[in-house]
Amino acid sequence: MREQFYFAFRNRKVVGGLSVILGLLVLGLVAPLFADYGPNEYVGPPAAPPSGEFLFGTTTFGQDVFLQFTTGLRSTFLVGVLGGGIAALIGMTIGFVAGYRGGLLDEVLNMLTNVVLVLPALAVLIILHAYLGIKSIPAQALFIGAFSWPWVARAVRAQTLSLRSREFVDLARLSGMGTMRIIRREIAPNMSSYLLLTFILLFGGAVLFAATLDFIGLGPTESVSLGLMMNNAVHWSALHLGLWWWFVPPGLGITAIVGALYVTNVGLDEVFNPRLREM
Amino acid sequence: MSAVSLQVDNLRVYYRTTRGDVKALDGVTFEVADREIMGLAGESGCGKSTLAKSLIRYDGRMRHVSGKALLDGLSLPGGRYTKVSLIPQYAMSAMNPTVKIGRLIADLVRAHGWSYRELLPELVRRLELVGLSADVLNNYPIELSGGMKQRAVMVLSTLLNPSLLIADEVTSALDVTNQRAVAETLVQFRDRGFVTSMIVVTHDISLVYQIADTILVMYAGKLAEKAPAEVLVNAPKHPYTRLLISSLPEVGVRHATRKLTGIPGRPPHLLNPPTGCRFRDRCPLAYDRCAEEPPFTEVEPGHFVACWKAMSEGSPGENQEACAAERSGGTPW
Amino acid sequence: MHRYFGRKTLIYLLTFIVAVTLNWLIPRFMPGDPVLRMLTRTSVSNPEAIAPMREYYERVFGLDVPLWQQYVNYWVQLLKGNMGVSVWLFPTPVTEVITRAVPYTLALLIPAILLSWIAGNKVGALAARRKWLDNTVLPVGYVLTATPYMWLGILLAWSLGIVGGIFPVAGGYSFELRPEWSLAFVGNLFSHWFLPFLSLFLVAFGGWAIGMRNLIIYELEADYANYLETLGAPRSLIRRYAFRNALLPQLTGLALQLGVLVAGALVTEIVFAYPGLGYLILSAIQNQDFFLLQGTFLFVVIGVLLANFVIDVIYVIVDPRVRVGMQGAS
């Protein structure tokens, strides 16, 4: 474990990716604290380009783009962690149970996994959001998580199958440990590095899903998000008016976060797999 | 023995790592004669795989430090497939799963400038010799059983009659019946002249003993002993060989699955190997002289050994007794 | 063979049933009386649509009959091809509105998917071979896959459309033209198609290129590649085999990515006001046209399932392992 930390901090991809993520996270957490007005308030001259006063300029209504951007970062991180976490939780539970228990339960769960896998998740999310009118980010994250777990379940199931027959699992079974306990104590720790990588990918996926939904105008109505900023920018003709500072930052923020997550993932893969490390 | 086929002279090949060079092959000198089948034995990590690789193809991390290997005057590695060929350890997965076997062979021989059509009759003849029908050429590897794949690879590897064939742990993935069949096929290939000479790399002295003319034992990147198979097994001179032989399991149990329980300690790390005899720390016979590196010397015709004790030891008769005692469970030391 | 396709068909059938059921179920989770709620929502946007809507709701929701019968009724209407009447484009049936939009979506999706897949695989394979190319393809690929579809669309529309003035940025064709098979019209159609296509293509391309590059590197470490190398086979032969073998997982990847690609097409259409299914979805949401929304959803699901099936068939044709395995089984 210590060795892995050592290699992680020497891996350029991990360090670079994490710096971008942490940098944006800190920006999102800290910057809004210095504003004495809300992100949707009309505080400046309309459609002002970036300046010392408004770092990222203002919208056609005179809202502070920088404040919207930094507040939107909070939403992005929240939905990523929650959505990715929920998807990971569901996917891992189903994968572990299916792989470990086998039999009919496995068949049923496998079928369920396959069905959700081919179901176009975004289309389902659109219907759900449109009808139920999602109000908060956790609710959005819950729905995103509920439809993006299948590939995790598949991969975890396959790995559990291969771990199930190992000696230490046999030993645990012989000593009378229950299924959930064996999964939690014996199987999951042996896959921890893999699970971390999975969570990172799910995090990125949830961020993209949320941005898409927000962009269509189906996101949480009560908060500011990067996707909603792009929606507003397009809706209020920022393109035609040339207000590039309105639509460039939110997309760039998402790309940076998701890209950094992917790069960190590749780097961590090298850290965990010594065979890749040598190359 | 007849004319020399392979001549290896003071060959040193190191592995580059972040922590320095691993001296996996540290100055080995030996010869393989025409029509000789030489067994190459030793624990894993002793350098036998490195030796095999350095005769065929250096991988990215291997570095040639000194010495040379000549095959009929051709400097190795070189002449892959036409002069030197390999039956790999992973024969089961050696063939591209998505290409028909005939197609694979055709692609390969054409790349070497041969006509597949002209080779086809001979190919079919050899397949039949190992008990495969010509139909396998129309099959994908997945359609063959493990044993069939192994035999197909053996035919494929030797199709162009190489001067030297290296068989790398060819039997380790097989059951006992198939092991015997593969071993016999190797001998047959030599007898029919499909290959001129052969190096059989193995953990398993008991198997190589059945087919090899000579056996070479390696330890920690160096040669320990080379002798005719009969002599090496019945009258070994190097203490390491003796222990290796004495810890031989019953027939059929594979060596790789067992630890050498009879030899306390581990082989030295090859990043910074100790000076002198590398077996010194584990050797029950070690004495002052062993701090100096023992040369690999011919002590009897065709019997080479790198051990001060063995060189100064008495008649072979004594040795035989010692060995017999060992094998019956007693400790000669 | 039968077993394989039987199983796949079962999965697709189940998925379809699940989708229809969700479609039926979700409105029922709306708080309050769904009919009333939808009617009041609708009345704002299109008063004349209320009567047929009420009629449809009564037939479909049939609120007096037991729940299971409501469900059966829903299926019956659906299988008759009746998805209701669009509120937004009253009184056009939903099915008709959708069939008019589908060609646009397909015209975007099919070329974007196929070309990005082919180009991504080629470039990825080249990158695995050349260090300098790898050093460009890898970062560019990661940036592209991390880019939200709509943002790339916005950037392209702004830079090449508005600032550059090279391409139009909205609609399927200029509104002063009438659809006809003339050179001018097809050219106009193409110029409107190009930017949405390009943004879809680019994002997908990045993913395929990275995938192929990693797969090739993995394949080149496989035993068969090692063996061929040992037998002195030329690099070109080994690369050819590795590329062919790496295409198979990429094909599976294509099936898995279909949903994401369709989603990408939907939002890209929204950015460019391109008159496909995505634009319909946006209009449906803005006009509270729930029939249209649900109908579009089912069309998207059916499309994805059909595409999955096509990929399954192709997979069986190109992968001898699956084919041989199936012959052995049946």
Q: Which chain B positions have a beta carbon within 8 Å of C227's beta carbon? A: 86, 88, 90, 94-95, 153
Rounded Cα distance, B196 and B192, in Å: 9
Q: Which residue of A has its CA nearest to B17?
A: A278
Q: Which chain B positions have a beta carbon within 8 Å of C237's beta carbon? A: 107-108, 111
- The answer to whether residue B265 sits within a structural domain is yes
The radius of gyration of chain C from alpha carbons, rounded to an integer in Å, stands at 24
Residues C171 and C241 in one domain: yes
Q: What does each of the 279 residues of chain A score in pLDDT, given as a tens digit?
A: 667 777 777 788 899 999 999 999 999 999 888 888 888 888 888 888 888 888 888 888 888 999 999 999 999 999 999 999 999 999 999 998 888 888 888 889 988 998 998 888 888 888 888 888 788 899 999 999 999 999 999 888 988 888 877 777 777 777 777 777 887 777 777 788 888 889 999 999 999 999 999 998 888 877 889 999 999 998 888 888 888 999 999 999 999 999 999 999 988 888 887 655 543
Residues C61 and C107 in one domain: no
Residues C73 and C100 in one domain: no
pLDDT, residue B317, reads 42
Nearest by CB to residue C223, choosing from B82, B94, B99, is B94
Residues C56 and C113 in one domain: no
- The answer to whether residue C1 sits within a structural domain is no
pLDDT digits (tens, 9 = 90+) for C76-121: 888 888 777 777 777 788 889 999 999 999 999 999 999 999 999 9
Q: How far is C237 from chain A (nearest CA, A)?
A: 24
Domains in chain B, number: 1
Window C:163-202, CB contacts with A under 8 Å: 163, 169
- The answer to whether residue B76 sits within a structural domain is no
Q: How far is C88 from chain B (nearest CA, A)?
A: 53
* Residue, of B133 and B79, whose pLDDT is higher: B133
> CB B80 to CB C230 under 8 A?
yes
Residues C151 and C280 in one domain: yes
> CB C162 to CB A239 under 8 A?
yes
CB pairs under 8 A between B and C: 71
Domains and CATH numbers, chain A: 63-276 (1.10.3720.10)
Q: Which chain B positions have a beta carbon within 8 Å of A278's beta carbon? A: 17-18, 61
Kindly state whether A228 is in contact with chain C, defined as any CB-CB distance less than 8 angstroms: no
Residues C73 and C132 in one domain: no
pLDDT digits (tens, 9 = 90+) for C46-84: 666 667 666 666 665 555 677 788 788 888 888 888 777
Residues C100 and C45 in one domain: no
Q: Which residue of C has its CA nearest to A132?
A: C30
Residue C178: pLDDT above 60?
Answer: yes
> CB C14 to CB A250 under 8 A?
no
- The answer to whether residue B29 sits within a structural domain is no
Residues C45 and C130 in one domain: no
- The answer to whether residue B147 sits within a structural domain is no
Q: Which chain C positions have a beta carbon within 8 Å of B99's beta carbon? A: 241, 244
- The answer to whether residue C89 sits within a structural domain is no
- The answer to whether residue C103 sits within a structural domain is yes
> CB A259 to CB C143 under 8 A?
yes
Residues C46 and C154 in one domain: no
Q: What is the ipTM of this complex?
A: 0.88
Window C:284-313, CB contacts with A under 8 Å: 284-286, 290, 293-294, 297, 300-301, 304-305, 308
* CA nearest to B237, candidates B295, B176, B182, B309: B309
* Residue, of C85 and B220, whose pLDDT is higher: B220
- Interface of chain B against chain C, CB under 8 Å? 56-57, 79-82, 85-86, 88, 90, 93-100, 107-108, 111-112, 140, 142-143, 153, 157
Domains in chain C, number: 2
Residues C216 and C70 in one domain: no
Residues C101 and C140 in one domain: yes
Domain limits at B259? 236-333
CB pairs under 8 A between A and B: 3
- The answer to whether residue C173 sits within a structural domain is yes
Please tell me the pTM assigned to this model. Answer: 0.83
Q: What is the mean pLDDT of residues C158-180?
A: 83
Domain limits at C250? 95-329
CATH number of the domain where residue C112 is located: 1.10.3720.10
Q: Can the peptide bond before residue B77 be classed as cis, meaning omega within 30 degrees of 0?
A: yes
Residue B17: pLDDT above 80?
Answer: no
Residues C53 and C191 in one domain: no
CB pairs under 8 A between A and C: 145
**HSE of A38 in the Cβ direction (CA atoms, 13 Å)?**
6
Nearest by CB to residue C270, choosing from A121, A216, A259, is A216
- The answer to whether residue C7 sits within a structural domain is no
Interface test mutation site (partner B, options C218, C228, C229, C231, max chain B beta carbons within 10 A):
C231
Kindly state whether C88 is in contact with chain A, defined as any CB-CB distance less than 8 angstroms: no
Kindly state whether A258 is in contact with chain C, defined as any CB-CB distance less than 8 angstroms: yes
> CB A131 to CB C27 under 8 A?
yes
Q: Which residue of A has its CA nearest to B60?
A: A279
pLDDT, residue C147, reads 93
